[in-house]
Structure 1
């Protein structure tokens, strides 16, 4: 019996060692890794590496503002279950000089480096319903999130960079007002989008002439029980683009679906469209007149949208 237990313990030890060997750096709050904070691990990565650096973030709540500068290329951040990066800044909060930090200054995580991959991590702004309070600020190209959670209220996810391509795979995004906003081209594939209060899911600021903005494929759009009046989008800038494809829309979606905000002629500037959505909020009979229903998915293949000139394909790439 003792020999059997010894073999079992040895097998577990070998398994753990093999798992740790898959990573270049390990972050652990309890001191069992290479670093106790996420920022320390990122700082330790050599600048402009041509190969991928894999960082394991062990289970725990890491209260810190994390910045991934443009020099930290090809990072992979992999979380154990319950790996949370959290902070509680918000737009009207004062810095040490008595100045408001603003929306951009409120974020928990900042991504400026291209080719980032993050998996199984929760990014949270814990300040609550206090106005703009960003959980994740993405100002980089070729960014891929998989099985990640983005938690906040107003302005949860800021897709800041207009030349950025971002791919969200099986992620969860929670918020209330404009909680996915910005100028980037973003694909949300099989994600869960959850409204905590009446408001607007997206607020794209797509540049004039840009072919794509936000595209949601096969997503589940839900809300808290008391939430009854949510719009799919309103345009932060006149040429905002958002498309919902084969999504399950809850009863909380306003029959109009889309809000023009203060844009004087949305029919000539915005591109808001749907294709074969389902659920109680998918009835298109009363949709806003400036929105449209796609007849087919020509030009809406995920790989083609993200490829551009460099052929980026996060679906096939090894992270």
Structure 2
């Protein structure tokens, strides 16, 4: 059968589209390989085993994970590690087929960090196209990703939890083109300088997206969100009007939201203090160019929040937040 010009064109467009959606379906040269249930010599059945096998010699190392749900708790304390998940489109978290899953809460583990499914206590660590989840659910702090890490990058990574999903605790960090889900203070920490761009932030129930714990004026901590979408999670209940962009865990707390696209309506106050008696003098919270189908019809932000203008886009650009050297460690392909 001969193709008509129309079917030929459609075929060509399909091939072009496939080419543009770059995948990562085989291990990079030299990478440790993780494959669920493997008995192949030189491969590892868990991420923990692959991490333990990395040489302690100061060299940059990588790990490639084939599709599967790996139930384990992972601790990384070695610098210069890159972890890749199998994917047919490196730019889209929706194509992730690798999940690291664990159920633990802070009360039983002994601390927020200790409950983390993936705990990173080293620098220059990069994650690509993996999902990380803590399945504990409501009722306790239960971390999916705990990042005590400088020059840390999460690229098209999915983070799933309920309370305290992401502990962005210390160092310079980026979260680009990923997914972060939770309800209560689900992006929190005390000392990190964290930049979030191109993410989907999914609210499961009423609560606060962020809880920045900056407690002194000389602490560099700030969370900056630019060009992210806020929407309901697939299991959301009672979220419209019942969630906030953040509440101030520390008395010098700093959080900025720029160019946010709202698909679920926040509380009209947008921000809240930790308590009615909190000193809000030095808290710096503000948003600019918040748009979308669900912007509140009448906003009533607290008097202590900031009214940001267009100058905020340069004041809180990635260069301003992380410094001009960020290009030496951030994968800038995920900034487009």
- Report if TM-score (shorter chain) is over 0.5: yes
Q: CA deviation at 1:283?
A: 5.5
Three-state SS of the structure 2 residue aligned to 1:298 is helix
1:241 to 233, 244, 254: 254
Contact 1:306 1:312 (8 Å CA) reproduced: no
Shift of 1:208: 2.3
In the alignment, structure 1 residue 57 sits paired with structure 2 residue 57: no
Match of 2:82 among 64, 76, 85: 76
Match for residue 176 of structure 1? 183
Q: 1:22 and 1:281 mapped to 2: Cα distance? A: 47
The aligned runs of 1:96-111 (5 Å cut-off) are 101-111=110-120
Whether the 8 Å contact between 2:246 and 2:271 is mirrored in structure 1 is: yes
* Cα offsets for 1:192-222 (capped at 9, x unmatched): 1111110011000124234551111100011
TM-score, normalised by the number of residues in structure 1: 0.84
Q: 2:166 aligns with which of 157, 162, 165?
A: 157
3-state secondary structure, aligned to 2:273:
coil
The residue that corresponds to 1:226 in the other structure is 238
SS across alignment from 1:303: helix
Determine if contact 1:60/1:82 at 8 Å carries over to the other structure: yes
Shift of 1:313: 4.4
Aligned equivalent of 1:7: none
Q: Could you say what secondary structure the match of 1:268 adopts?
A: coil
Deviation at 1:312, TM superposition (A): 4.7
Q: Distance in 2 between matches of 1:86 and 1:127?
A: 10
- How far, CA to CA, are the matches of 1:135 and 1:199 in structure 2? 18
> What is the aligned counterpart of 1:281 among 295, 299, 307?
295
Aligned twin of 1:300? 316
1:11 corresponds in structure 2 to none
* Aligned pairs (5 A) from 1:192-271: 192-209=200-217, 210=219, 213-223=222-232, 224=236, 226-228=238-240, 229-262=242-275, 264=277, 266-271=279-284
SS where residue 55 of structure 2 aligns?
A: coil
- In structure 1, stretches of 5+ residues that fail to align are 1-15, 94-99
**Residue 191 (structure 1) aligned to one of 176, 199, 202:** 199
The match for 1:133 among 138, 142, 147 is 142
Mapped to 2, the partners of 1:21 and 1:139 lie a distance apart of: 26
| Root mean square deviation of aligned Cα | 2.5
Which secondary structure state, in structure 1, belongs to the residue aligned with residue 48 of structure 2?
helix
> How far apart are residue 110 of structure 1 and its match?
0.6
Residue 66 to residue 211, structure 1, CA distance change in 2 (3 Å): closer
Instruction: Give ranges in structure 2 of 5+ residues lacking alignment.
Output: 1-22, 87-95
Q: Distance in 1 between matches of 2:127 and 2:256?
A: 24
2-structure distance, mates of 1:102, 1:21: 36
